[in-house]
Chains A and B, each alone.
Chain A
Amino acid sequence: MSIEERAREWVNERTKLDGVRSVLAGVRLPVHRWSVFSVLGRLTLILLTFLVSSGVLLLLYYRPDVAEAHRSVAAINGDVPFGSLVRSIHVWSSDLFVGCLIAHVFAALIQRSYRRPRELIWISGALLFIVCIGLALTGHLLPWTESAYLSARVSSELAGRVPVAGHFLRVFLRGGEEITGTSLSRFFGFHVAILPAALTALVAVHIGLVARHGLSVPKSLEGLSVKSLPYYPHLLLRDHARATVAGFVVLCLAAAMPTGLTPKADPFAAAPAGAHPEWYFLWIFGLIRSLPPRLLGVDGDQVAVTLLLALLLSFILLPLLERKGSRVMFWIGWAGLIAFVGATIHGSR
């Protein structure tokens, strides 16, 4: 028996990992010319592990207090060995994570992966998307910089424009009427505890359902012969290689373009010139800017927020809204992607 086989037998006798291996080997994923898009979901998960690992390391030094937050981040950047690198990894991972997430959503939308019986996979994924965006939003405030403060103020102000529940939402998010130390503590709590817990639960549901139903194939390949490979070991090795490359790319980006630290927030100062939100919120910025101040007697911001709410609801309930056999969603998916890119460019100007 070779050393490898002996080692495997030793480990298996004590952990019964063979059982897990056989389960994973039983999971077969389709391999076709469009299956490259199915990698996006797994890549998002890989980037999430980078986020969590780097986030835990940052948690050792970060202090969620108005007087200390900015200083602790400056200390992570300046005084902690490799602190700047870990922080840059966290920031780059979050940008790439959101990018992969958006690409994954559009890929699933265009391929209509939510078709029966996979509706709940889509709904759990939509909820996951909202939780991830919440994580990005709450994490952005934590360094307590000028741009972070402004971003939190604008986003919570937008939440306050929601009809009926707006005031409650704004006060709930801010922990009061204004963005203060209470808001920072609240955002911190959401970012490190509440939203990660929701994320874990939803990821478990989402992946569990995918494992049960298997990945969907595009409508054009339904009824045709499609090759499939067991997840273990074939696709696991490939995912391992992708994770290695992704990790290395993130490391290179973090080392070559480290994340700086803009000045500490001053609640009484005017908004800095040229301030704009994170790139994944630019499309909202663009949407609001493209609407007039008042539309049919209603405040433009409120119209925008109502539209966004309608969009969000449609996004979550999409599988239930689509008529059977219709290809409308295919075209809506493409139109949505183009609109997203266009609104983002418009918002960045």
Chain B
Amino acid sequence: MEADRTGLQAPGFRLRGRCASYGLSLAFGLVLLLVTQAAQATDRCAGCHIRLPDDRLQKPAMLLRESPHRDDAIGCSACHGGDRNDPTIRAHSAAGFNRRPARADIPRLCGSCHADPRFIRRFNPALQVDQLVAYEASVHGERFRSGDTQAPVCTSCHGVHDIMGRADPRSRVHPSQVADTCKSCHADPKMMSVYKLPTHQHASWKDSVHGQGIARGNLGAATCVDCHTAHAATPPAVTSVARVCGRCHADQRERFRTSPHARAFERLGFPECEQCHGNHGVARTSPSMIGLGPDGVCGKCHEEGQKGTDGVKTLAAMIQDSHKKAAAARAAVQQAELAGLPLADARAGLEQVHTAELRLGNALHDFDPKKLKVATDEVASAAERVHASLAQANSGRRSYGRFVVVVAGLVLLHLAFLLLRIRRLGTSEAETST
């Protein structure tokens, strides 16, 4: 055969090319096999348990697949021991294997990782490592140490194989779920009767402004752990309730601390915020809360005719007046919407009214009519700006009238032109037929 200059078409080269391609394929397959084998090798327990027909043995492995604990460096053996590299049942015979860790060992077992900053920082440097210490200082921890079998341990709240990160909505300690987790014990009358604790807290919280906020998706609203802390669960003392509320409602707390009520509450031993707002069942505030009426909280301490009632009435009147102005602005915008007026400015104005109302609620905690007047003036001027925007929109609507007048002129001209043309044409081309 004539030699090909390039050599590519030569039979010898074709044979060598085929061998090379077969060899490459084989090598690739081997690499793939090794990689998959290596992947399987790091998850022997779950890899076997998932295939088991017994639901009791399969389910933990299925649940673990979604958990951060599925990480290769943790896996099943972190809690259950055994030989993680043995794919057979002999893994269970290895030293340290524990089919079901005892309840009493759970805190220490979880703490063996979660209280070790050097271990935790490999996975999540931002994760706290004081949970065990906090737990041991908590009421739950004290009960646990005293041998109370009902006292919760880590798995009571976080789950066992289905532990999820706190930010995962499926987690039992996600803000949207944590109240239900606490409820599982604290709303159980039989369980709580041992400790003589009430069981209405969850129901009260659920109807409260905080519970409704969580239900609406506002994850910033307070849940059980925000006031009672998570691991160091303890009811706040009477003197520290305000500090707990003040973590979020800082402005109200600061104003209250400098108001006349602060000294009086201290003298009488009243919890600051709780006295008027309650604790678990904190209701959404309304203007009717201020005053001596049936919904007024002031009547708990102030009686008609006593010192201070004039101040109550003054504050109540100011709040009611602001509320009316804000409501009138909202109603006007709603009417304008139905009438089809342009509303961009008015809606922006309503946002300002809302902000002013929030500031008014804060300013009320000064319990000083002079300071409150600044806030009520702000609401009034925001409401006035809404009305002004609507008036402008109405006048803008009147510009439609000017537009129509201009068009009318053009229409008349055009009609005049058409009528002239029609007259000029006449009916000269009319024909009569049967």
Contacts and interface: CB of A to CB of B under 8 A. Distances in A.
B337 interface: yes
Contacts of A233: 421, 425
A227 B432 contact: yes
Given A78-B341, A87-B340, A248-B411, A224 B434 contact: yes
A252 interface: yes
* Contact residues on B (Cβ < 8 Å of other chain), bracket: 20 to 34
Given A237-B421, A244-B415, A31 B430 contact: yes
Contact of B418 (A87, A240, A262): A240
Contacts of A248: 407-408, 411
Contacts of A258: 339-340, 397, 400
Give chain B's interface secondary structure class.
helix
Contact of A225 (B415, B419, B429, B433): B433
Interface string B246-288: 0000000000000000000000000000000000000000000
A88 B342 CA distance: 14
A260 interface: yes
Nearest to B426: A234
B427 interface: yes
A228 B430 contact: yes
Given A226-B434, A234-B427, A84 B341 contact: yes
B422 A234 contact: yes
B404 interface: yes
A237 B422 contact: yes
B432 A234 contact: no
Interface string B74-107: 0000000000000000000000000000000000
A75 to B, nearest CB: 9
A274 interface: no
A229 interface: yes
Contacts of B2: none
Contacts of B411: 244-245, 247-248
B344 interface: yes
A233 B425 CA distance: 8
Contacts of B407: 248, 251
B422 A225 contact: no
Nearest to B335: A260
Given A84-B340, A260-B338, A251 B418 contact: no
Nearest to A252: B404
A74 interface: yes
Contacts of A261: 337-338, 340
B343 A251 contact: no
Interface in A209-228: 223-228
A81 to B, nearest CB: 8
A266 interface: no
A93 to B, nearest CB: 16
A224 B434 CA distance: 5
Nearest to B427: A229
A107 interface: no
B22 interface: no
A230 interface: yes
A241 interface: yes
B401 interface: yes
A79 interface: yes
Contacts of A201: none
A57 to B, nearest CB: 15
B403 interface: yes
Contacts of B433: 225-226, 228
A255 interface: yes
Interface string A24-43: 00001001000000000000
Contacts of B431: 28, 227-228
Interface in B311-344: 336-344
B340 A88 contact: yes
B414 interface: yes
A284 B135 CA distance: 72
Contacts of B343: 74, 77-79
Nearest to B343: A78
Contact of B401 (A77, A227, A228, A255): A255
A74 B415 CA distance: 36
Nearest to A28: B431
A238 interface: yes
A85 B400 contact: yes
B425 A234 contact: yes
A273 B1 CA distance: 99
Interface in B379-434: 393, 397, 400-401, 403-404, 407-408, 411, 414-415, 418-419, 421-422, 425, 427, 429-434
Contacts of A234: 422, 425, 427, 429
B370 to A, nearest CB: 39
B434 A225 contact: yes
A74 B341 CA distance: 9
Contact of B400 (A77, A78, A255, A263): A255
A182 interface: no
A189 B401 CA distance: 35
A28 B431 CA distance: 9
A79 B339 contact: no
Contacts of B340: 77-78, 84, 87-88, 258-261
A255 B403 contact: yes
A226 B397 contact: no
A238 B422 contact: yes
Contacts of A224: 434
A79 B393 CA distance: 10
B337 A74 contact: yes
A251 B404 contact: yes
A226 B393 CA distance: 56
A147 B433 CA distance: 53
Contact of B341 (A77, A229, A247, A262): A77
Contacts of B429: 229-230, 234
Contacts of A241: 415, 418-419, 422
18 contacts: A31-B430, A74-B343, A78-B344, A84-B397, A87-B340, A88-B340, A224-B434, A225-B432, A225-B433, A226-B433, A228-B430, A229-B427, A234-B427, A237-B425, A251-B407, A255-B401, A259-B340, A262-B338
List 6 A-B pairs, minimum CB-CB distance, nearest first.
A78-B343, A77-B340, A255-B400, A84-B340, A260-B338, A241-B418
Interface of A: 28, 31, 74, 77-79, 84-85, 87-88, 223-230, 233-234, 237-238, 240-241, 244-245, 247-248, 251-252, 255, 258-263
Given A74-B337, A244-B411, A261-B338, 20 more contacts: A31-B430, A74-B343, A78-B342, A78-B343, A78-B344, A84-B341, A84-B397, A225-B433, A225-B434, A226-B432, A228-B433, A234-B429, A237-B421, A241-B415, A244-B418, A245-B415, A255-B403, A258-B339, A258-B397, A263-B338
